[in-house]
Amino acid sequence: MLTRRTLFLLMGGTALAAGGVAATRVGVQPEPPAPPATDAANHLLWRNWSGIQHAYPANRAAPADEGELADLVRTAPGPIRAVGSGHSFMPLVPTPGTLVTLDRIAGLDGHDMGALTANVRAGTRLADLGPALAAVGQEMPNLPDINKQSLAGALSTATHGTGVTLMALHGNVQAFRLATADGQILDCDATRNADLFAAAKVGLGAFGVLTRVTLKNTPLRRVERRVWLQPVEQTLAEWPVLQAQHRNVEFYYLPFTGMTAVITHDETDAPATPRPPTQDNDAVMSLKGLRDWLGWSPALRRRVAKHVLSSLEPERVVAESWQLLSNERPIRFNEMEFHLPRDAQIPALQEVIEAIETRRHDVFFPIEARVIAPDDAWLSPFHDRPSGSIAVHAYYKDDYQFLFEVVEPILRRHGGRPHWGKLNSLKAADFTALYPRFRDAMDIHRQVDPEGRFLNDYLRGVLADA
């Protein structure tokens, strides 16, 4: 196993031995300033997971069923915004009007083992959905890295996993039910309300509120997860082969180390192995410690890291797919992720790495690269395009403006489409140029929400202006 606690101690000790008394950030960083708990009207604060988005909704609601939800969306003060776990970094949720949680509309609502489908209430959290599907012998074909999102939130923002033949989560949606602005509950699939189905499959909560989703799943399987470290040059050269060889594959570049962590998942009949406690969070904080001690000397920082990282042994664990693909991620961060044409991914990533390591010596969070298969949802970043994603993170206590200043121009120049829930500065004209069916989706939106009851200020600037 990769002994990451040992890694932290080795890095800290080596830094001290190398003269790390010139450390740049050693000590406890203060928490970012928090907004007041209430506003002048005594409305309670809502804040997203990383802390950069907030609002004081005048009305909060947790309907217990579709009937209550239908009445709510028809009569409650707008804008009406649904919230899941608050893992979006963009201002999709903030509203001065009504904030709706679907936490009481959660759980399985039936399944068909022969067809390998399951009806899932939209407020179900992914962490709960995995074991619920496993209990009926099913699993989702792919999962994102974090398991805290609600199903509705994950679908509405085109949340995805990785795998050259695997679509994002919404690609396996066969049907859904949607509460529209006039209080109707509409059934949508490829034949019923087909255009609304295509437009709202990745809907940003702008077309209505999802209540139930029919997922096309696969039989429950075990997978073997492998994690190993190798030089970045080797990983970039092997990336096409790695994509072809493994069901799920991704890699993380570890800034200022010259090293990558490669992660693969492949189906196996091997027996399950004991699952050790996750050490990913220790690894991230080890990289932070290295930055704090040796940020003043990128060359020394790289030498120390490469020396320690090169000696670590690979990880191997076997478990059911849902247990390994999605994980706990308690260390908060802010994130920018763009999805690029697949052949542009590596050239863009090389530019991002060079730009960060030239201009931003404070960055330490790993940079993630994944691959996603195309789908036909009108607002999907993967619409009609095999994609490679690049995700750049900033520790929640650190400045994240470099994402806009240093990273975003590179990703946009390479034809990237941003993840809907992650930081970007794009406007309506940009999305219209990037999405072949964007105007068609806006036409459908005007039909089902003519008064814009589901549009907050951000969404008006993106959707209504189109």
CATH class of the 46-101 domain in this structure: alpha beta
Looking at CATH, the fold of the domain delimited by 4-22+222-418 is given as Vanillyl-alcohol Oxidase; Chain A, domain 3 (3.40.462)
Report yes or no: 202 and 158 within 8 Å, Cβ to Cβ.
yes
Q: Cα dist. 59→38, 45, 65, 78 in Å?
A: 13, 12, 18, 9
What is the structure's pLDDT at 21? 43
What is the structure's pLDDT at 311? 78
What is the structure's pLDDT at 308? 84
Residue 102, judged by CB atoms within 10 A of its CB (0-12, 13-18, 19+), counts as buried
- At 430, list the tokens: 């940009």
Q: Domain coordinates of the chain in residue numbers? A: 4-22+222-418, 46-101, 108-219
Rounded CA-CA distance 357/354 in Å is 5
Report yes or no: 436 and 402 within 8 Å, Cβ to Cβ.
no
CATH of 108-219, picked from 3.40.50.2000, 3.40.50.300, 3.30.465.10, 3.40.50.10190, is 3.30.465.10
Rounded CA-CA distance 135/388 in Å is 33
Report yes or no: 256 and 364 within 8 Å, Cβ to Cβ.
yes
The conformation of residue 370, written as its DSSP 8-state character, comes to: E
Rounded CA-CA distance 91/140 in Å is 28
Of 12, 53, 79, the closest CA to residue 287 belongs to 12
Distance from chain centroid for Cα 57: 25
DSSP code per residue over 79-136? -EEEESS----SSSS--SSEEEE-TTS-SEEEEETTTTEEEEETT-BHHHHHHHHHTT
What is the structure's pLDDT at 375? 98
Q: Which residues contact 73 (CB under 8 A, 6 or more apart)?
A: 80, 100, 179, 180, 181, 183, 208, 209, 453
Rounded CA-CA distance 466/454 in Å is 16
DSSP code per residue over 281-310? HHHHHHHHHHHHHHTT-HHHHHHHHHHHHT
What is the structure's pLDDT at 226? 97
- Evaluate whether 4-22+222-418 and 108-219 have a shared fold: no
* Beta-bridge mates of residue 251: 262, 369
What is the structure's pLDDT at 275? 81
What is the structure's pLDDT at 23? 53
What is the structure's pLDDT at 126? 97
pLDDT tens digits in sequence order for the chain, 466 residues long? 334 444 544 454 544 444 444 455 666 789 999 999 999 999 999 999 999 999 999 999 999 999 999 999 999 999 999 999 999 999 999 999 999 999 999 999 999 999 999 999 999 999 999 999 999 999 999 999 999 999 999 999 999 999 999 999 999 999 999 999 999 999 999 999 999 999 999 999 999 999 999 999 999 999 999 999 999 999 999 999 999 999 999 999 999 999 999 999 999 999 999 987 777 778 899 999 999 999 999 999 999 998 888 878 899 999 999 999 998 889 999 999 999 999 999 999 999 999 999 999 999 999 999 999 999 999 999 999 999 999 999 999 999 999 999 999 999 999 999 999 999 999 999 999 999 999 999 999 999 999 999 999 999 999 976 6
Per-residue pLDDT reduced to its tens digit, 267-284: 999 999 998 777 777 889
Per-residue pLDDT reduced to its tens digit, 193-203: 999 999 999 99
